[in-house]
Structures are given as structure tokens and as C-alpha cells.
Amino acid sequence: MFNSITGEITFKGEERLCVRTGGVEWDITVSRRALDRLPPVGQVARIYTHLLHREDSMRLYGFFDAAERALFLDLQKVEGVGPRGALKVLSGVDRDKFAQALDQDDVEALSSLPGIGKRTAQKIILTLKGKLTPATESAGRSAEDDIATALVGMGFDRRTAKTAVTAALKSLGGRKMKGEELERELFKLAVAIAGGESNSASSGGTAGGGITSGRITSGSTTSGGTTSSAGDGTPQDDAS
């Protein structure tokens, strides 16, 4: 029903995020890792989503990228691992390390994750080993969309943002990187390219000039301290 939501982040809390877009403020449940990787309150971000509809409630889950969402949905196939359990797994490990644990039948690594015991870890291996669903977008393509959105949030126009990200991807094409490493390098290079284009377009400075804090990928941005209120009308969290 919803693939993603792009808008201004208005609130970040414990496994909870609020995003305002088109006059609507969305209350989204997210993993701690996703919360840490997303921009701070006041910046624009793209959140991949999954709507869980039950007889007595609806809850919107959010993810940093398509790969995280795919893993969340795969974990739902395991007996005894519901949405809350899947969210704990996502908070404790990234997709690459999770897949490595599956391939190595590493029960100890999986059972060390929050809320996962040895029996559940064994069920995860039996159910998902060699069967993880590929993300609908590659790491590079997902990063391309997210970084372009982040640049727009920093003040660059959409055309400049997309041109800069495309140029950055072409420049990094020969390097062997994946996941977070690719996203970090892609973001840094895209910002530099976008800044150069903006400066050359106008000697008086442009919307992107002087802004250096915007980012979406590095683990250095955390949710700590960003517990400001979403303001009037902040949606209440549904019961899971």
C-alpha cells in the first residue's frame, strides 16, 4: 500500500519516529539502528514503510532502506518471531551480519540478539538460511534516492541533487564497496559535487552554501538528545 514516505522529521524517540508530509504527520515505529542512521529532527528524510493491519489496530513500521524492510518481512515467516521480535533483531544487527550468521549456522550469534533465545535462533536458521528475500533495490540505488532527498533537505534544488548523486555514483563505480561504506562515500562526494555546482552557478552563493551538518548514512548521527516534542497533534502510539 505504501512503499515509502518522504517528509520532515518532527520527532525521534525510543523506536518511534514522526514525519510530516502533505499536511499529515505519520507516527512510525522504527528500529534503533534506523533511528540512528536517519537525519535529526527538522531535516527531510525518506522512510521505507510497511503497514501492519490487524483486526483491532493498524501500525506503520518504518525502515532506513528496502533491505532492512525485506529482512523485517522475512523474519515474520519464522514461528515465534512477531513484529516486535523482528524489530529487536533489526535493532541489534545489520542485514549483512545477519546473513553471515545464517550461512555459518551461528546459533550463538543469533541467540545473542535481544529477545532471541537458542531455540528461536535455530528456527531462524532452518526457516531463512539461503532464503532471504533480495531487497527490491540495490544498496547503491537505495542510497541514490535517499541521498538526493537529503541534499534537497539541505537546501539544494532537486535537479542539482540528482545530478550530483549521479555523478558521484559514476565516480565510485570502480570501487568495491557495499552497504554503509558505499552510502557514506556516496553522500560525501555528492555533497561536494552539489556544492561546487551551486557555487559555480551563482557567485552570490546558493541554498547549499555553508551547510555541512546534513547527512543520512553515517552511524555518527544518533537519536540521543533528539526527543523534542512533535508539537500539537502528535499521533498517539497504537498498542502492538
Position 181 in a domain: yes
> What gap in Å lies between CA 164 and CA 158, rounded to an integer?
10
Do 40 and 59 lie in one domain? The reply is yes
Do 59 and 72 lie in one domain? The reply is no
pLDDT value at residue 153: 67
CATH code assigned at 93: 1.10.150.20
Position 231 in a domain: no
Number of domains in the chain: 3
28 and 18 in contact (C-beta within 8 Å)? yes
| Sole residue written with cell 561504506 | 181
Burial of 104 (0-12, 13-18, 19+ CB in 10 A): exposed
Domain that holds residue 78: 67-128
Do 124 and 143 lie in one domain? The reply is no
CATH code assigned at 19: 2.40.50.140
Element of type H or E holding 53:
strand 44-53
Position 220 in a domain: no
pLDDT value at residue 91: 93
pLDDT value at residue 41: 95
Quick: pLDDT tens for 187-225.
Answer: 888 889 988 865 655 444 434 333 333 333 333 333 444
Position 206 in a domain: no
Work out the pLDDT band at 2, boundaries 50, 70, 90: confident
Range in 48-52, 67-71, 155-159 the model is least confident about: 155-159
Burial of 188 (0-12, 13-18, 19+ CB in 10 A): middle
The average pLDDT across 140-154 equals: 67
Cβ neighbours, 10 Å, residue 40:
17
153 and 214 in contact (C-beta within 8 Å)? yes
At 4, is the secondary structure helix, strand, or coil?
Answer: strand
Which residue type, as a one-letter code, is found at position 175? Answer: R
pLDDT value at residue 53: 82
Position 229 in a domain: no
> What gap in Å lies between CA 230 and CA 19, rounded to an integer?
9
